[in-house]
Amino acid sequence: MNTLAEIISTIAIVAIVILFLNPTGLTMPESTLSMLILGLIVAFLAFAALIWKEKSADEREQLHVFQSGRISFLIGTSILVIAIVSQVFTHEVDPWLVIALSVMVLSKLLTRVYSRFKM
């Protein structure tokens, strides 16, 4: 497990998406925006590669990996549900929130069904 690389890629992803929120209220030039988009893609690909290559040394470490995945999934879906519910009250539901939640839940279900029939 390459913890330092995971920390760096996570910080990069969070920092870039916070910059996309434009906390300073300044407009960004197209070149800066393009570089941030490229940086986000590279940071996400690095993070995904680290997660994909993750190997457990023993059963205890494997349990930690499973628990972190389960907690991450539940937190991610909870945030999406909260966002959808809050937008329902304003009558402006963002389709991307619905798509993201649907894809997450369906991929979880399909993976469980596939693994059950595969074994």
Chunked in runs of 10, what are the mean pLDDT values of the chain (119 residues)?
Answer: 84 90 80 92 92 85 89 95 95 94 94 87
Residue 1 and residue 54 in contact, taking contact as beta carbons nearer than 8 Å: yes
Measuring CA to CA, which residue among 71, 62, 52 is closest to residue 5? 52
The pLDDT score that the predictor gives to residue 22 is 81
pTM for the model stands at 0.77
Query: Treating both helix axes as pointing N-terminal to C-terminal, what angle do 30-52 and 3-20 enclose, rounded to 10 degrees?
Result: 150
Measuring CA to CA, which residue among 3, 32, 4 is closest to residue 16? 32
DSSP symbol at 23: T
The pLDDT score that the predictor gives to residue 61 is 87
